Amino acid sequence: DIQMTQSPSTLSASVGDRVTITCRASQSLGGWLAWYQQKPGKAPKLLMYKVSTLLGGVPSRFSGSGSGTEFTLTISSLQPDDFATYYCQHYNSYPVTFGPGTKVEIK
Amino acid sequence: QVQLQESGPGLVKPSETLSLTCAVSGYSISSGYYWGWVRQPPGQGLDWIVSFYHSGSTFYNPSLKSRVTVLVDTSKNQFSLNLTSVTAADTAIYYCVRLLTVTLIRGPFDYWGQGTLVTVSS
């Protein structure tokens, strides 16, 4: 199974900050990586897939990059609505697995 | 608009079977896409359980495969999850999901139910 890690586990930031979350895989993913946002009491929301393809309606301040085993989610200017937990997920092979999550908190 | 809605008991006794149903509206299960289940223990991360196609192709999380059964009822446009021999470790919010694209057999999940909390306790 491919293991996923994320760093940091918690991130404290202010509105307007540039935020970067890193996701690492135990083996190369061939670009098959997605990012989700989850708010308390809600189901996860898919933000992007194939490393950097944003779903419709996702603000352009979100971007993804990376290749091989290391990937990043960047929020260019943090907005109040962005305080949430973010998960990466690989879908290179079964079983698909998620990272442990990064909580973005208000500083 | 595709919508998924989970239903089932919120409390299951240890060693018994957890049974949940996902009712789908806005899209016919038999028209395509892989569907599935993902769970999230309270305060923890996401665990994929199973993904399946209506015609029978099914992929299981190896850690749960021996205990998981998926049933599809295309006439009611719903599918079910049965998880046998549950323990406290199976306490989680269970989500039914749909894969993003019709062309992939695995992938990210773009549609999620609201989730249903199942507690395993005597």
Over residues A77-99, mean pLDDT:
97
The pLDDT of residue A52 is: 98
| Residue B55, phi-psi category: left (phi > 0), alpha (psi -120 to 50), beta (remainder) | alpha
* Contact criterion met (CB < 8 Å) for A91 and B115: no
CA angle at A37 for the pair B58 and A34, rounded to the nearest 5°: 50
Return d(Cα B85, Cα B76) in angstroms, integer: 27
Contacts of A94 in chain B (CB under 8 A): 51, 59, 106
Q: What is the chain A residue with the closest CA to B37?
A: A96
Q: What is the pLDDT of residues B55-90, one digit of tens each?
A: 889 999 999 999 999 999 999 999 999 999 999 999
Residue B103 has pLDDT above 90, yes or no: no
Interface test with B, best of A37, A39, A42, A46 (most B CBs within 10 A): A46
CA distance B30 to chain A (A): 23
Q: What is the pLDDT of residues A4-60, one digit of tens each?
A: 999 999 999 999 999 999 999 999 999 999 999 999 999 999 999 999 999 999 999
Residue B105 has pLDDT above 90, yes or no: no
Over residues B88-107, mean pLDDT:
94
Contacts of B59 in chain A (CB under 8 A): 94-95
Establish whether the linkage from the previous residue to B42 is cis, with ω within 30° of 0: no
Return d(Cα B43, Cα A99) in angstroms, integer: 14
Over residues B43-54, mean pLDDT:
96
